[in-house]
Structure 1
């Protein structure tokens, strides 16, 4: 009997152990169990990136690459984002991921996933961004792909997908970016797809095996921007004239096909360069250097070049020849003027208009822009860079993240900026400042790189295209003395701008100390450093005035928005924001804490206590204080002049000065008038200048020269003030 009891014990222990294992497995919620199918589908030798995916956890929200948010009606946070990009994972995509019904963003790019894309994946009906590029996937596009009601971003490039382009793509009516380049798709593209894709902004079908003619209805993509890329295929026939109906900002890439005939000359075609049509042996006409004369593929009705025709005509009377020559000369001149006009219009739209006096005006003998006139907005695969987080998705971060509001887009403007939305959601954030232009945070990404994130506000949901157009114009700005906008986020209830973080504070702090109180003591900035800051700021501001696509006016230049790096190089910030604030329709600095976009990851400030009425902005030009006045570039020139005076004297225009015991009224003019009066009375330079500036060799002469520049900038009459390009040139001579 005892032996029987003893023999029963091992079986009982086994049963207990099995129950414990079952209970341990049950502790993980359904989303976690679905994710474990992905870990099982990946080869163990390459699964190190998923090592913290532990079945003993209650939820997967702390696992690497997983983003969650609280969903109304659900007790637990649900998985809304998976990002395991470039982790060297080798395996297949399991169909169980389709059980993640709240999954919005799937990012597997840059791995070695193989096999077909499971049709069941699209049971995850909340998906709006799918990034599977750079894998070894094969097969055709799954039929249920366009059953996703919110699908906006689809990037399947650089795989081995094959088959024809299916007509069911016309059902993806919310699609904004369709990138299928560098695959093995083949066959003719059917009619009827593109008229239904009214929201499509980016289309890239390059480097496949498509043949047949380019569909005429591709010209109905009215939202298209960037580059229409059909290169490196086998398209035949003529280029449809309807492509000329695409927006004028669209660039074509039709290289390396078998197209024939004359390049159309209507609409968008007038903006294309010859590289758009290279390696199509039977194409001819402008802008190619190939005449359509005697080209059998051009078709009837093509008129041969008049200049060539004249040389071949025989027996014409001399008077008639002269008349024809004059007519040709006039025609060529008119065409030349049209081409030049189109060229400059396009240059303006690309963000750089630096040339001689004919473009800039005035009597200058040479063109301006001694600093690089770096034209700007990236096209094709960098305009909305899905490879660098350009797909967006308003997901909350961390295990307890909460997002208020609807869907959104995080769009990377700079191709070299490797940035994922979930990095922002998980990052540490610190408040840097707060003003009518929004709350600014320092956010340290997972790779240790800091960025500055400006929260603009919650309104403007009806003005999406206007907002994006403004942000893209700002994003075109590329200058070493202007803060670079790297990405932006748009959702109906949140707008964020992500830019470079400049590490060493601003000029106001450098001049007056961290407290930003007016300084009446000698500051520590040497003359050489101040001169470097002045020259760099002038170059950046002149670039905004002369070379930017919209000839930007800053409108509020002052030391607090001249940022400094560790080498004391200046960076102009806060330009172009007033228009964005107008679009959003509310004051972001007045928004209260609430859950917010990032679920508490960014610490929103409480409403400020009542403060006394602010003094007049001491850096604004006199004409800027009139009610309803519109900002002009001469405002910026005046503000820059006041900044120069502050660097020269060490006195703030908004604080006390030797001129009076206290400021009142138009305080900025007290500083300006005090300096002017000092020169009129021929006072010693040492009485007006910060003493440290006189200690350097040759500094006195240089300081005096900069004083004269500052006084010219602060003339009361705006018409007398110089342009910023002239100011920059004069400072460079100091």
Structure 2
């Protein structure tokens, strides 16, 4: 009689083979676990799960499922590593069987109608590092087993119906980078002792809950925090802990709509906050709020109060204002208004009479007519290039302008943003100038000043006269950006019918020309040059995202917006331009992209070409720009530097272009199919085989940047750090 143990062994072996091979007679264990989710969904699953077939050998081709080959004991199995069914209008619950997906790294079910509590068993999926369940109807508390996963980095449970307190065991999530639980029903005090343990936390959002008590003093120990610390719309009270000033200077506070009190500290990061960070906290006082702590302490009209509000308050509380005084004040106001009106009428008629029929705000703009020189207010200066010349120039490689024509300086001002820039408007407009390019986003000139210094002058257009303050505020914000890898704005000119931006002229063209040449003959950029360009561009973008006054989103990163000097140092250009164009009344969306991108224009890109540098979410009409847009676009630029292939003109493949319609998918498929590196990189780089390790590391950075899910993409700060680790 055979040993029964042998039969058991045979059964186990057969079961293992049926689970982990591609033999069609049985679905793998991962597939069976996923089918439990299909069974748990009672609405919306008809579309999402239409190809989830229990007769398949593996679930790797199912909608929303990602797999990877896992090697163990000389065997290779295809295991589920990602599940993404966001925005599918699914209604149901998360079954505990999902926790048996031991290689699951990303679970993305946001923007659905899932309900019930998050099962503790889910965190048996020990490889999980990203959990995105926001915008659902989950209830219950944060599971105790959440921090049992060592690799967990991203948790977004915002906009659900979860409740309970913020548990102290969160301090065990030591690898956590993002904790976002805003828009729930959490309550109680924010416990002390949690934040010192979260050394890697980059984003914390506890907003729109019912947290009470004081802000713990040790919150200042979140040294890796970036972006916004969001504690708004809670019931927090007490004074602001001074330790918050120890947070990184790039961190923005959002403490609105609480019951905080006392004086706002002025140390460290507090000095970088605007008034909106503290709004709707009635008992808060001090800078940047327009509320004196002295008045708050003494009360309106208290002893020693020196403000008008204090004196009026004291007068009202004691005696009130006498009727005779009220009449006197009213008469004085009426006389003042009448006088101001007469003055305005007088100035209007005087200016009109002095014009002698010639308006300095009429047709005499750049490319206008000579008649404008006859105005009483002289229409100053000359500028090469008539309107007809500019219409015929479609953005070639420089060249002189046509004949001279009148320029209307109007009653505008040339305002120097940089202290080292010394130029009058008449000198600027009379200088030698060359048309570099034109589009509906503006005409660009290279202008050589009297001292021989070349500058780039962009003419934005003639509209926006009603939005002067908005224009100036935006230009000033752009002008405050000072970084060695960002094009510097030197000055601007504003008049009702003319707006100009004067910036540094970068002399060696742009990255698009350097990579592909003016006639597409290819690039001679070495690997060390390309890596230098990548690092410099990442440095400039990281500064715009993290350190600039507005924490700018560029929104249009591509090689034509990356300028190069003679040492091939890169300069990010055109940030903030779309906003300025909108203020002046032009429509950037009508052209798609600038001809050749930034200053200067060396190569025109057809406007009907799709912008394949944009992230998937950026291509949705009405979507709002985010920094993750820029990260994706930079990732595509990196792939272009590595492969030498431009996504703007054609697919990297010919015979399979319908299967791989863009550069990102082509590279990803190449890695999935384990193609040799020589099939992916620019042939120019094959001569530098010593750089193989660095090239491969850069590919991984680019692929991380071009993840479909924006939450997965790293911040530019992290991208820069990863690139800096790569040697040339």
- TM-score, length basis structure 1: 0.47
- TM-score, length basis structure 2: 0.48
